Amino acid sequence: MSKIFDFIVVGAGVAGSAVAVTLARQRYEVLLLERSLERPDRIVGELLQPGGVIALKKLDLDLVLEDIDAIPVLGYHVSWKGEETTFPYPSPHQVDGSANNIFTERPTLEGRSFHHGNFISALRKLAKQEEKVTVVESNVTDFVTDNEAGQVLGIKCPMNKEYLAKFTILADGSKSNLRSKLHDVRPQVISKFWGLEMVASELQYQGFAHGILGNGPLVLMYQIGSHEARILMDAPCSIHASDAPEYFKRNVAPRLPECIRANFISAMKKDRLRSQTNEYLPSQATSVPGVLAIGDANSIRHPLTGGGMTVALNDVLLLRDLLSPEAVCLDEAHAVAKQLRSFHRERKKYSITLSILAQALYALFVTTDPHLEPMQRGFMLYIQRGGQSSEGPCALMGGIYQQPMLLFYHFFAIAIYSMWRLMLASPAWMFPATLAKCAIMFCKAVGIILPVLMSELFC
């Protein structure tokens, strides 16, 4: 008779490797399956926000950030149509909650950036070292199910190989091939990120993620090693690979700081432009017993704010508490189902915050609608005020604050502040026309955030 594991984890990425180690440390027998255990080479999954670092520390997994040439990230430097602002993550004494005693040795909360492959390899190494984790390299083709109850009993692999477990965790990322077995909702493709590797020493503000917004494609830059930096450029999916180099030379190079421009052109000649689709999928609950999707297998947001790994690691943190041996017996199906309902409900606190923020920020700055340009400018001016106007949005983007209501507060505070600035800049005799512009801008701002909010709340 085949061995029945406590858990099967499909996918040995960020979420899968972390949850396998965490469950094994709770004395569960875990099978971790991954289609390829070679070092992955991707252009995303390289920026871990402070909220993700905090989760790693709480999981006692922060050892993986050592010896991978991980770079501290202190906040953001943003440029919009020539205007610039730098806003660091808040200091620990400005943040309520358990983050305080994690970073007490540092003056500010920090994220980390790194080569994706280095981070994943370190997580997998940790998983292989766990006595109660069995790591198998194999594709997964389907679930093993109880035809009468519909419960997932395990997974199927090629060559008619089957593995059984009391519970299955789907952690195979945004391209999950088993997600469609759980529900019919498909990810919405938004755009593509095209990536290059550049020389890190020429970034203007060391230790800060750089964003260039307005007058062309969105551009992100951050250091991924002592000598390397990543540049990501957003473009419509219609841009073909053969046309991409010329498109970015024309639309990105002129907007880069002079100290980076030559480096960028050189990288375009030396390095291969690689792309990754940017998708959106609201958080999904499943009614299928015996299985749960976490991380990007559950929900996806635009990578503009780098929130994906933070969501995944907080999923692991939440599961650790809900599925601990003290909290539930895996043999009691009703008790497990109750904990999974709690997971989906509690997950929304951080998932909604990071997903709505990423989608709303992307929609605001990718648009060419002239009615929203005052709000784009208003965002920059709002951040430049400093204090909570800077610390709040930065802490939300960093996954430090997991409060959807705080996100709505700052979003509409920016909208109202933008209207006020627009009124101040207009002569008195244009008051009626300016008031109409303000009303249109506010309605369009609501049109940005409301559809995402509804998608997240009612899934």
Residue 105 clears pLDDT 70, i.e. is over it: no
DSSP string of 59-127, one letter each residue: TT-GGGGTTTT-EEE-EEEEEETTEEEEEEPPPGGGS-STTTTTSTTSSS--EEE--HHHHHHHHHHHH
Number of Cβ within a 10 Å radius of residue 272: 9
- Give SS3 for 402: coil
Which residue bears the tokens 């030396």? 270
At residue 394, φ and ψ (nearest 5 deg) are: -65, -40
Helix 308-322 to helix 50-58 angle (10° resolution) is 30
CA 274 vs. chain centroid, Å, equals 19
Residue 321 clears pLDDT 80, i.e. is over it: yes
Residue 206's pLDDT band, with cuts at 50, 70 and 90, is: confident
Distance CA 215, CA 83 (A): 12
The token pair that represents 199 in the structure block: 């020389």
Q: Which residue has the higher pLDDT, 438 or 203?
A: 438
CATH homologous superfamily for the domain 4-186+281-357: FAD/NAD(P)-binding domain (3.50.50.60)
| pLDDT (tens digit per residue) in 246-295 | 999 999 999 999 888 989 998 898 878 999 999 999 998 888 999 999 99
- Residues of the chain within CATH 3.50.50.60 domain(s) are 4-186+281-357
Distance CA 410, CA 392 (A): 8
Distance CA 452, CA 344 (A): 17
Number of Cβ within a 10 Å radius of residue 137: 12
154 contact partners, CB below 8 Å, separation of at least 6: 8, 143, 144, 162, 163, 164, 165, 168
- Residues of the chain within CATH 3.30.9.30 domain(s) are 188-279
User: For residue 285, what pLDDT is reported?
Assistant: 87
In 3D, which of 274, 283, 306, 264 has the Cα closest to residue 119?
A: 306
Residue 102 clears pLDDT 70, i.e. is over it: no
At residue 66, φ and ψ (nearest 5 deg) are: -90, 145
- For the segment(s) 188-279, the CATH number from 3.40.50.1370, 2.30.110.10, 3.90.850.10, 3.30.9.30 is 3.30.9.30
Sheet containing strand 208-213, edge to edge, reads: 83-88, 75-80, 208-213, 219-223, 228-235, 188-199, 274-280
- Mean pLDDT is lowest, of 53-57, 283-287, 386-390, for 283-287
Residue type, 410: H
User: For residue 259, what pLDDT is reported?
Assistant: 85
The token pair that represents 22 in the structure block: 């965490």
The mean pLDDT value of the chain amounts to 92
